[in-house]
A and B are shown apart, each in its own frame.
Chain A
Amino acid sequence: MHSAVRSTAGIVAIGLVVFGLWTGEDVSDARWLVLLGAAWVLLLIATRVPLPTSMPSFNRTLVRTALVLATVFAIVSAQLVRIQVVQSEATASRTGLGADGEMVANPRLGNRDLAVQRGRIFDRSGEAIADTERGDDVWLRTYPDPATGYVAGYYSPLLYGTSGLEASYDEELTGQEGNNPIIRARNDVLNRPQQGLDLHLTLDSELQRTAHQLLDGRNGSMVVTDVKTGAVLVFASNPIYDPEALFTSNPGENAEASEYWKSLNAAPDSPLVPRANLGRYTPGSTFKTVSAAIAIDQGFAAPEDVYEDDGDIEIEGRVLVENNRPDDSRTEWTLAEGLAWSLNVVFAQIGLEIGATLMWEYGERFGFGADIPFDLPVASSQVAGSRGFLDSLNAVADTGFGQGQVLTSPLHMAMLTATYCNDGKMMQPYLVERVATQEGDTVRTTEPMVWREPIKPETASDVEAMMVNAVQNGSVEAAQTPGYVVGGKTGTAETGGAEPHSWFIGFIGDPEPRYAIAVVLEEGGTGLSATVGIGRDLLVAAMETESSG
């Protein structure tokens, strides 16, 4: 065969193999096999070197046979390169469904994870909320207290992956991120498991347990943050689940865990969804603090401005009836009194004053519709499903007192409350205060950061004062606590059908505000005083923990 033909065939064969290596999905999809077959034929041509005619015929055929075998070995090597190098990630992580619907995946991936001494997760006093324990040849994950464990999320390497902090801090917990790169590279080369990094949280386990006692099995959420820093001390959601029951270290335990998983998924109240960050509720009257803040910030209104409320208001033909007036004979109320008694007619007028444009714009400034930066994913809040909704006067009036299409998460409400107490600065919330090695050396510390400044400091102190007034002279009197300054606002979220959710947002100080809270009780009815009561108790507990510690 001519040498030019042979060289061309050889080059094309190599080209085909190289092209084929990087395309396709499976180890042996048909296209790759065809490419490889074509490459092999070309290699046969390429290796058909001219042999001297003086060579005995037996030797010639033997050399030819050797060359053919060499090409086959080359093709087998190409296949090995494909499986072991080029397509190794895709091949090793491929999953599928068996005939019985069970998931089939590479069992090594879970075992590789189990070989890692995963980082622990501690609360702010050093109590472990997620711990590791040495098993036979793997590390086991334990969650000592169900009241805090679910905040960490679940870690289920053989079955369901990760959630919560276990998911968002997986790289740190497995030591892939944050460790000394030299040590990490050494461990990679020697195939030693990485040592994970510990997370030290701002969470206070004691307060978290108190929160769950106060929730007393009712579905809902309680979030407490430090108003100055955004640190989250309580991150309670009910119902809870036990993440330890989803952790398995060998396939023998999978059946039980999978039963539990199925029951969690079948439960109508979705225990796997933590309310505090992923719950989306209508804020009801607690949103009036936002309307008041917008109006004051824009100079439309001041706390002492007087609004008329004689029991109803007609907007574009719809009559809105007021049920909240403490004195039906009074028709004139200040803005502060409107907030204190939660007068819907007053805030309908505020909403109309603000109008659609400003309502939407301030909503964005307060973080509605934005991705809230946090250690966990946060459900997106909204002022309305779309900007267009606010174009109707009734819609903007309803939005003014927190109905309409407003939706928000407990975490976001706690952030808003803290903003009023923090000179209008909205802090970035955080749970993870410190990432450290298992020996305790700090790798990274979270510095408190201002996320947004939606309103002026003066506006913020006006709203703060109005919330204190609502507790001292208004409908939130259940929050009154001797010895502390408490501000608050309640809300009832009409859910259209079932019993409404009840809200309480508030803060406590001595006298300077220290902690902000958001409480929501699902279908809590109009038992607002109960909601306020548990919120106040938790705030007091936070203050007392602080003074005793």
Chain B
Amino acid sequence: MIGARYRPTWRLTEFQLLIPPGLLAIVGLLTIFLVPKGLVAWTWGDIWVSLAFAGLALGISVSFGIRGFRGDQVLLPLAATLAVIGLLMIQRLHPDLARIDDGYSMLAQRQLLYLGAGTAIMWLIVMFAGPMHLISILRRYKYTWLLLSLGLQAATYFFGTEINGARLWIQVGPVQIQPSEIVKVTLAVFLAGYLAEKRELIGASWRVGPLSLPPLPYLVPMGVMWAACLLTLVALNDLGSALLFFGIFLTMLYVASGRAFYIFAGLVSFAAACWLAYLAFARILIRVQNWIDPWQDPNDSGYQPIQSDFALASGGVIGTGFGQGRPTFIPEVQTDFIFSAIGEELGLLGSLAVLALFFLIVMRGFAIALRAQDDFVRLLAVGLAATIGIQTIIIVGGVTRLIPLTGITVPFISYGGSSLLTNFAIVGLLLHMSSLPRRI
């Protein structure tokens, strides 16, 4: 039986679905070449980045087939489409950015490198998670993951470099890593392990006389989580990660316990804590001001959100077209604000399409959870899928000024190694879990 699982298979659906992003990589780039009087200076040398990406995606699909991998065939094309939109946007931005600052040269090549590393991790997980019993390891060492999460956040506090008032980065030799990207995965693993084990207990009531109380002792780790998220906000000034962690936490808690009360209590208490933080810390006040009315200081703190508004508004329904807009007026457009660049150049159609792709990825992850046999796998699939969904909502909501802006990346799209690596690792985990024996 085990031998049968490794029999090569045709992953025809996946291969077919990978053709659009593969073509998009090439056609998108050609679009920019062929538009006369485009504002961006291109060279034919850029096309190899696109070709390499298309080859990479199709190659992975074929290798999965040869290996006989029988998991989900839709996730990879979805993630690849988002990644190619990001890669194209970064290819489009880098000549403009390089003109501003030499540090931005080779941006697209580096992004391709990260993409290669990310897909390599995904590939390794898919290929070797089964034989090495990855799921059991993840489940067994759940408190290790919790400690790792807390340790990474603490390390960021003590050793992190502060950029624009927020501590998001740790310098390790020549590489900068963003620990919060790793923490979101380890946190989901811990929560899945903990909640799968204690699910029955947490879902039940704790009766004290006539009162029906939640099972307080089992909620202590939950309280730790809550406090850690708040600390992330206050100590690291990293509202984005705090929201993300708390969102993952609430989602998994709700799915595991089925109790909407937890969500409600969690949201109310977190909102109250944020309100206190808002009153106590001036920098959070500025953040709120930039959300509600950045025009109070349009040249300084409000500059970035205003430029993002301009970009999105200038895009209109169909956008200016690749290479025809001026997204580089937005500082950090290649990372946090890449969604505004997509909105400007691809218009509402492009921005809604990207949102829809993210939604599909989340739903695909939930579908994997529905079919899974084991509580841990189900909760982990939910948690990881929710990570992508919540992160998307936080950053897109932030750049469109629906919620206060937070420094967090757009999964698969933003420039940056940490983000791409962890998000592709998530896809790898989801793919692996989709290939595990299903519930009947």
Contact = CB atoms under 8 A, between A and B. Distances in A.
Interface of A: 26-30, 33, 36, 57-62, 64-66, 69-70, 72-73, 75-77, 79-81, 83-85, 87-89, 91-92, 94, 96-100, 102, 104, 106-108, 111, 115, 137, 189-193
B201 interface: no
A538 to B, nearest CB: 45
B402 A104 contact: no
Minimum-distance CB pairs A-B, first 6: A98-B299, A91-B313, A92-B313, A28-B401, A104-B298, A84-B348
Contact of A62 (B37, B315, B355, B366): B366
A91 B397 contact: no
A83 B366 contact: no
B293 A26 contact: yes
A28 B402 contact: yes
Contacts, number: 148
Interface string B135-156: 0000000000000000000000
B297 A61 contact: no
B37 A59 contact: no
Contact of B312 (A26, A76, A80, A102): A80
B396 interface: yes
A111 B359 contact: no
B85 interface: no
Contacts of A97: 298
Contacts of A111: 326
Given A29-B292, A88-B313, A111-B326, 17 more contacts: A27-B401, A36-B402, A60-B258, A61-B254, A62-B366, A62-B370, A65-B254, A69-B389, A76-B355, A80-B352, A83-B312, A88-B315, A96-B295, A98-B300, A102-B299, A104-B299, A190-B321
20 contacts: A28-B291, A28-B401, A28-B402, A61-B255, A61-B256, A61-B258, A62-B369, A64-B254, A65-B386, A66-B362, A69-B386, A79-B397, A84-B313, A84-B317, A87-B313, A91-B312, A97-B298, A99-B297, A108-B311, A193-B37
Interface string B316-328: 1110110011100
| Chain A at the B interface: SS class | helix
B222 interface: no
Nearest to A107: B329
A76 B396 CA distance: 7
A30 B358 CA distance: 28
B98 interface: no
| Chain B at the A interface: SS class | helix
Contacts of A26: 293, 295
B314 A104 contact: no
From A61, A81, A94, A99, residue with most partner B Cβ within 10 Å = A61
Given A77-B352, A191-B320, A84 B255 contact: no
A77 B355 contact: yes
A106 B382 contact: no
Interface string B98-117: 00000000000000000000
From B255, B343, B355, B396, residue with most partner A Cβ within 10 Å = B255
B343 A80 contact: yes
Nearest to B378: A58
Interface in B336-385: 343, 347-348, 351-352, 355, 358-359, 362-363, 366, 369-370, 375, 378, 382
Contact of B348 (A29, A69, A81): A81
B393 interface: yes
A58 B372 CA distance: 11
A111 B295 CA distance: 22
B178 interface: no
Contact of B292 (A28, A62, A100): A28
B76 to A, nearest CB: 21
Nearest to A111: B326
